[in-house]
Amino acid sequence: MKRNKSIYTYILLIVMVVILINLLGDRFFLRLDFTADKRYTLSEATKNILGSLKKPVTVTAYFSEELPQQFSQLRRDFKEELIEYSNRSNGKVMFEFVNPNKDEASEQKTMQEGINPVLINVREKDQVKQQKAYMGAVVHYGDQKEVIPLIQSGSAMEYSLSTSIKKMTAENKPKVGIVMGHGETSPNAMGQVMQALSILYETEPVNLDEISVNINNFKTLVIINPRDSFPPAHLAKLDEFLSQGKNICIAINRVDGNLQTLQGTEIKTGLERWLEGKGVKVNPNFIIDQNCGSVMVNQQQGVMTFQSNMRFPYLPVITKFADHPVTKGLTSVLLQFASSIDFSSPGGNITFTPLATTSEKSGTENPPVTFNINRNWQEQNFQRSGLTVCALINGNLAGGMTSRMIIIADGDFPINGEGQQARQLPPDNVNLIVNSIDWLSDDTGLIDLRTKEVSSRPIDQMDDGKKAMLKYLNFLLPIFLIIGIGIVRYQSRRNLRMRRMNENYI
C-alpha cells in the first residue's frame, strides 16, 4: 500500500513538473541552437534593427494547414522565429497566422496581398499528387508594406524578415553610384543585382565628369565591365573619391573571349594602370581551370546534327573562398574569361587580402588565344593553383582618409543581359557582387545573413575515405550505442542482484 502511494506521488510530481515547464515555456521563449553556423540564432544586425524600432511591426503569415511534415515544420520554425522577434523587440513585432485554404475569399485575399500558391508533392495512398500551398508573409510598418512571397528555412528566414523591416524603417538609404561613360554594362542588364541592391540602397548612374558636385552623396562607387578608356581626369576623380574615405568595387575584364570568332584578345582601358599604382595588377591573361563550366556545341554524326555540353576550362568555377564577410557562405561562382590578380606593395599601409582563388589544378594563357572547343586538355596545362580572382585592398589608397577597394578580375559574371539575351545567373554570382557592395557600403551587418544559409557540405565532394567513414559511422554507431546501454543495464542489475543476495544472507 505504501509502495503504491509512493508511485502515485512520483507520477503526480512528474505531471506537475511537465505543467510547470509548459507554463514557463509559454511565458519565456527559449531556443537552443546546436547548428555549426548558428542558423537559428538571431544575428547582431537583426537585434540592432529590432532594438531601434520606433513603431510596431505587424507580420501576417499566410500558411496552409494540414501540410506534409517538412512544410508543417517550416510553419513551426517561422512561428518560433516570430516569437523571438517579438521578445527581442519588447513586443513591437506582432504577428498572426492565416489559413488561406479556409475558403475561397481567404485565398483571393492572400493572392491580392502578393502571395501566390506553390505546388508541392504530397504522398497519399501510395500515390504522389500535387497540392497548392501558401507559405508567405506580409510585413506592415505604418502605411508601408513588404511581401515575402515564399518563406524559406534556416537563416534565409531571418534574412527575409530583417531586410523587409530594415527596408521600411530606414530613413535614409545609403547611395551607391553605378559609374557609366566608359562602355560599362548598363544597370538594366544586371536585373538580379539591381533588385538585390534595392533592398538597402538607392542606386544611381554616375558620370565622373559631374561627380565633384555630388561626391559626398555616395558611399560606394561600382564599376562593372568597362570597355573604353578612362581619361586622366576621371581617374583623378576616383582618387578624390577614395581620399574622402569612400570605397570602390570594380569588376574588370582584362581579356575578351569571343565564342563566335573563337578568338581571345587583351582589353586596355587605363583603369588597369591606375590599379597598378595601388599595387594591384590584373594580369592580361586567360585563367584555365579543370573545375570549369561547359558550352553547348554542335556535333555531326552521319547526317544528324545534335548539341552537347563540352567542358570549357576558360569558364572557371570558383569554390575556394576566404573566411571573410564578403565570401563567407559562398559555394560556387562561375566566371567567364577571368584573369589572375597579383599584388606588389607600393609602400605605406596598404594591405591585400585574396577573397577567391582558383582550384589546385589551374593555369593561365596569354592572348592572343584561339579557342579550340575539342581541344584535348592535358595535366601539364594545369600546373598552377590558388590564383587570385577576387581581392580586397585596404589602406591609404589615394592620400587623405583610409579607404577600401574590392577588385574582381571578371566583368561578365554579374550580367544577366537584356531582352531575349537575358539569362538567369547562378545565385552565388549575384551574392559575390552584392556582398562586395554591401561590405563596402553598409554598417548594419545584414551581409552576414545573405549567404549564411547557403553553406553546404556536399558529400560528393568528400574524399572516398571520409565518405566510407561517415557511412559506417552512421550504420554502426546506433548499434554500438544500444549494445553499450544493454551492457550498462546488465551490469547495473547484476550489481543490484548481488547486493540483495548479500543483504538476504546477512
Co-location of 225 and 128 in the same domain: no
Q: Please say if the pLDDT value at position 315 is more than 50.
A: yes
Q: Which pLDDT does position 33 carry in this prediction?
A: 54
161 lies in some domain:
yes
Co-location of 256 and 352 in the same domain: yes
Place of cell 581571345: 264
- Spacing of C-alpha 178 from chain mean position: 22
Co-location of 91 and 130 in the same domain: yes
* Cβ within 8 Å of residue 337, ≥6 positions away: 253, 255, 256, 257, 264, 286, 314, 315, 410, 412
Q: Please say if the pLDDT value at position 118 is more than 60.
A: yes
Range of the domain at 8: 1-30
| Tally of residues, the chain | 506
Co-location of 244 and 358 in the same domain: yes
Co-location of 363 and 236 in the same domain: yes
Mean pLDDT estimate for the chain: 84
The mean pLDDT of 339-345, rounded to a whole number, is: 94
147 lies in some domain:
yes
398 lies in some domain:
yes
pLDDT tens readout for residues 164-190? 888 888 777 888 999 999 999 999 999
Choose one of 436, 456, 476: the last residue of a domain.
Answer: 456
Q: How far apart are CA 170 and CA 174, in angstroms?
A: 9
Q: Which pLDDT does position 28 carry in this prediction?
A: 54
Co-location of 416 and 471 in the same domain: no
Co-location of 199 and 328 in the same domain: yes
* Cβ within 8 Å of residue 188, ≥6 positions away: 418
CA-based R_g, the chain, Å:
29
Q: Please say if the pLDDT value at position 8 is more than 70.
A: no
Q: Which pLDDT does position 454 carry in this prediction?
A: 46
Q: How far apart are CA 132 and CA 121, in angstroms?
A: 9
105 lies in some domain:
yes
Q: How far apart are CA 286 and CA 422, in angstroms?
A: 25
Q: How many CB atoms lie within 10 A of CB 195?
A: 11
Q: Which pLDDT does position 433 carry in this prediction?
A: 95
pLDDT tens readout for residues 36-47? 555 567 777 788
Q: How many domains does the chain have?
A: 4
| CATH code of residue 375 | 3.40.50.880
DSSP notation for 96-125: EEE-GGG-HHHHHHHHHTT---EEEEEEET
Distances (CA, A) of 153 to 37, 446, 453: 14, 17, 8
Q: How many CB atoms lie within 10 A of CB 282?
A: 26
Co-location of 400 and 487 in the same domain: no
Q: In what order do the strands lie in the sheet with 292-301?
A: 292-301, 304-318, 333-334
Q: What confidence category does residue 157 fall into, taking pLDDT thresholds of 50, 70 and 90? A: confident
pLDDT tens readout for residues 446-505? 666 665 554 445 555 556 666 677 777 777 777 888 888 888 888 888 887 777 777 655
80 lies in some domain:
yes
Co-location of 473 and 442 in the same domain: no
Q: Which pLDDT does position 39 carry in this prediction?
A: 59
Of the candidates 450, 310, 435, 283, the one whose C-alpha atom is nearest the C-alpha of residue 372 is: 310
Q: Which pLDDT does position 162 carry in this prediction?
A: 87
Percent of the chain exceeding pLDDT 90 equals 42
Q: Which pLDDT does position 139 carry in this prediction?
A: 94
Co-location of 2 and 76 in the same domain: no
- The H or E element spanning position 45 is helix 44-51
Of the candidates 46, 39, 31, the one whose C-alpha atom is nearest the C-alpha of residue 152 is: 39
- The answer to whether the beta carbons of residues 201 and 177 sit under 8 Å apart is no
Q: Which three cell numbers stand for residue 124?
A: 497519399
284 lies in some domain:
yes
The mean pLDDT of 186-213, rounded to a whole number, is: 85
Q: Which pLDDT does position 12 carry in this prediction?
A: 76
Of the candidates 187, 314, 308, 317, the one whose C-alpha atom is nearest the C-alpha of residue 253 is: 314
Co-location of 321 and 420 in the same domain: yes
> Helix or strand or coil: residue 181?
coil
Distances (CA, A) of 64 to 73, 96, 440: 12, 13, 40
Q: How far apart are CA 299 and CA 286, in angstroms?
A: 26
Choose one of 456, 474, 498: the last residue of a domain.
Answer: 456
Q: How many CB atoms lie within 10 A of CB 280?
A: 24
Co-location of 57 and 159 in the same domain: yes
Of the candidates 289, 415, 281, the one whose C-alpha atom is nearest the C-alpha of residue 340 is: 281
Q: 80-83, long-range: CB within 8 Å, 24+ apart, which pairs?
A: 80/29, 80/31, 81/157, 81/158, 81/161, 83/29
pLDDT tens readout for residues 49-90? 888 888 999 999 999 887 787 788 888 889 988 998 998 898
> Residue 122, CB half-sphere, CA atoms under 13 Å: how many?
15
35 lies in some domain:
no
| CATH code of residue 137 | 3.40.30.10
433 lies in some domain:
yes
Choose one of 133, 153, 168: the last residue of a domain.
Answer: 168
